[in-house]
Amino acid sequence: MNGWRMLLVDDDPVFAQALARALRRRGHRVDLARDAETALALAALADFDAAVLDLRLAADSGLRLIAPLKVAQPELRILLLTGYASIATAVEAIKLGAVHYLAKPAGVEEILAALGRESGDAEVMTSVEPMSVDRLEWEHIQKVLAENEGNLSATARALKMHRRTLQRKLGKRPVKA
């Protein structure tokens, strides 16, 4: 996998620069984009082997970027990274064409391994303990948010919850399973 041309889309400049530097040290060419518009413009100008997308891009979602990138470059290997991991977004990312989904913080070796995988791992460990009620709530909110394409107002209505309450819940880190 050495020598890949990679598109890194993340609105956190410190994280993006650090990851780009680490990828470059391993022999990859990396182009940075801070938003979906810039990412699509770069994809129209150059062929990429892989893309690493952040789930949350300011007011946008990395999920919405997967389909247009795959249309522009069907062979593109896409990895979705997020600090707000949930089962719903992981499933949606894979359905939309991502090859993998990782929760931040993910190391560069883990990122490269995920991009290099050709199939899933049937040997992955499964948890024997059920999720906590708080984690179940988080997962349900993420599922409904994905169903509403990231629209907070529609999600709040679907959950019969005040929009500000939903924003407050989404602003917190996900609880441990």
Looking up residue 47, the CATH number of its domain turns out to be: 3.40.50.2300
Q: What is the pLDDT along the chain (177 residues), one digit of tens a residue?
A: 458 999 999 988 888 898 999 999 999 999 999 998 999 999 999 999 999 998 888 777 888 899 999 999 999 999 988 776 677 777 777 788 888 888 877 788 888 988 887 655 444 444 456 667 776 777 778 778 777 877 889 989 999 999 899 888 877 655 555
Contact indicator for 94, 23 with CB cutoff of 8 Å: no
Looking at the domain assignment, is residue 176 inside a domain?
no
Domain hosting residue 32, numbered range: 5-116
The pLDDT assigned to 124 comes to: 46
46 within a domain of the structure (yes/no): yes
Query: Does one domain contain both 157 and 78?
Result: no
Specify whether 23 is located in the same domain as 87: yes
Q: Are residues 79 and 146 in the same domain?
A: no
Same domain, 64 and 90: yes
Please indicate, yes or no, if residue 121 is contained in any of the structural domains.
no
pLDDT at 70: 93
Q: Is the dihedral of CA 131, 136, 140, 145 positive or negative?
A: negative
Does residue 161 lie within any of the structural domains? yes
Say yes or no: 88 and 37 in one domain.
yes
Number of domains in the chain: 2
- Determine, yes or no, domain membership for 166: yes
**103 shares a domain with 16:** yes
Assess if residue 103 is contained within a domain: yes
pTM, two decimal places: 0.69
Same domain assignment for residues 111 and 139: no
Domain of 140: which CATH number? 1.10.10.60
Please indicate, yes or no, whether residues 143 and 87 belong to a single structural domain of this protein: no
Question: Do 11 and 74 lie in a common domain?
Answer: yes
Question: Are 103 and 163 in a shared domain?
Answer: no
- 142 in the same domain as 84: no
- Domain-embedded: residue 108: yes
Question: Is residue 153 packed enough to be buried (19+ CB in 10 Å), middle (13-18) or exposed (0-12)?
Answer: exposed
What is the structure's pLDDT at 175?
54
Q: What are phi and psi of 19, to 5 degrees?
A: -65, -45
pLDDT at 166: 87
Encoded tokens for 73 = 């470059």
Judge if 99 and 148 occupy the same domain.
no
The reply to whether 139 falls in a domain is yes
